[in-house]
Chains A and B, each alone.
Chain A
């Protein structure tokens, strides 16, 4: 009798485990990690002025949604807005949700925003992933629908820039609404700002020399690539606990394995 009840517990536990596995697999199916072949790249923020090599990596198809983040909170209650310490997420964290586990008017398919860097990083870690590094994000975001590096195309640049000049504060569109780029990725431009893992490495170009050591000079290149320069300036000005109405994220993995 005792044995069989223990067996029943084991069966239930196994079912729960597989249910969890299915849920996280489902989350991955909804927002899969797509391969981005690496290559040499002229960054707008080169460390030494030379082209750099970006190794291949995987990036999620679209920004993480409210539904995906809600599923994460169920398993990680320490990141609920009523539990997280203010040093890891400011008071704006998920403040647009109706309750700690109720997105309310924030729809399932909208990108989740008002997320701190610490919370975004924790979400990705729970997926055996990480936030993309700046060079990875910039590399992926240089692609148009047809070419890997469309940054020389003035018409494409203008199209990207148009989004940045739109006033903020409007209702966010659902993810995947914009066209897919060369890699099949959506919404790198035109929907939300996105956290990168090394946001606190994008040293401001006008940094006070007394505050910095090391030999690398910060020289922003491609002065006509405003969209990317604005992103660098915005990310560089943030603190890890900051949140914003149009600041979201997506996760990445190394091409070879995880994360």
Chain B
């Protein structure tokens, strides 16, 4: 009887974390694939387990997109160093034609993003449309090249649930508060 009970307890202890299913309101429910700056294929939930800032952009954008990267760095810099190390940042391009893995690598290098915690990635055209629909990002290709798009930064909890979002590149106090709380409460 005793060994059986131990066996059951072991099985429960082992199975529970593995079977931890995504909540129904997790954005990671979308089955899709990203190509990262390192040339690897990753699911949307590649940073599951960490509070994550997620946004969409295109790399050849002259003005707003570098601003977006800087903006994310500024929001992060306001966090205490220990809390910052728990955060992850995922920037997804909707321009697979131009934003190849090497190109994203160059962009990451130019902006000195922290490769341990940041990923620049790109999605295939149809998949990017789905990710944008999930996040609430609007974008449209322009006839002369480039895109019109909305700037939206979304904060996700470790399971991919939306905690907050902002359209302000700097100084959204409410968003900063939510970000600080999310980074602080994350498991160490």
Contact = CB atoms under 8 A, between A and B. Distances in A.
A200 B144 contact: no
Given A52-B143, A203-B140, A213-B61, A85 B130 contact: no
Given A87-B24, A213-B64, A214-B149, A200 B129 contact: yes
Contacts of A240: 130, 133-134
Nearest to A203: B138
Interface residues of B, number: 35
A225 B168 CA distance: 34
Interface string B5-39: 00000000000000000101111011000000000
B42 interface: no
B150 interface: yes
A224 interface: no
Interface stretch (A20-28, A157-165, A204-212): A204-212
A235 to B, nearest CB: 11
Nearest to B144: A48
Contacts, number: 92
Given A86-B25, A200-B138, A212 B149 contact: yes
Most buried by B among A48, A121, A214: A214
Interface string B115-137: 00000000000100110111011
Contacts of B134: 87, 240
A197 interface: yes
Interface of B: 22, 24-27, 29-30, 61, 63-65, 126, 129-130, 132-134, 136-144, 146-152, 167-168
B27 A47 contact: no
B130 A118 contact: yes
Contacts of A86: 24-25
A87 B139 contact: no
Contacts of B139: 200-201
A169 B38 CA distance: 51
Given A88-B30, A200-B137, A203-B140, A213 B25 contact: no
A118 B140 contact: no
Interface in A43-57: 47-48, 50, 52
Given A202-B138, A212-B151, 5 more contacts: A85-B22, A85-B26, A198-B140, A210-B168, A211-B152
A117 B140 CA distance: 17
28 contacts: A48-B143, A48-B144, A52-B143, A85-B26, A86-B24, A87-B25, A87-B29, A118-B30, A118-B133, A197-B129, A199-B133, A200-B132, A200-B133, A200-B136, A200-B138, A201-B139, A202-B138, A210-B167, A210-B168, A211-B152, A212-B148, A213-B61, A213-B64, A213-B149, A214-B147, A216-B142, A239-B133, A240-B133
Contacts of A52: 143
Main SS at interface, chain A: loop
How many residues of A sit at the interface, in one of the four size bands?
Answer: 20 to 34
A61 interface: no
B30 A87 contact: yes
Most buried by A among B22, B129, B132, B136: B129
Most buried by B among A47, A203, A211: A211
A-B interface, 10 closest residue pairs, ranked by CB to CB distance from nearest:
A240-B133, A213-B64, A201-B140, A214-B148, A85-B29, A85-B24, A216-B142, A216-B148, A86-B24, A211-B167
B149 A130 contact: no
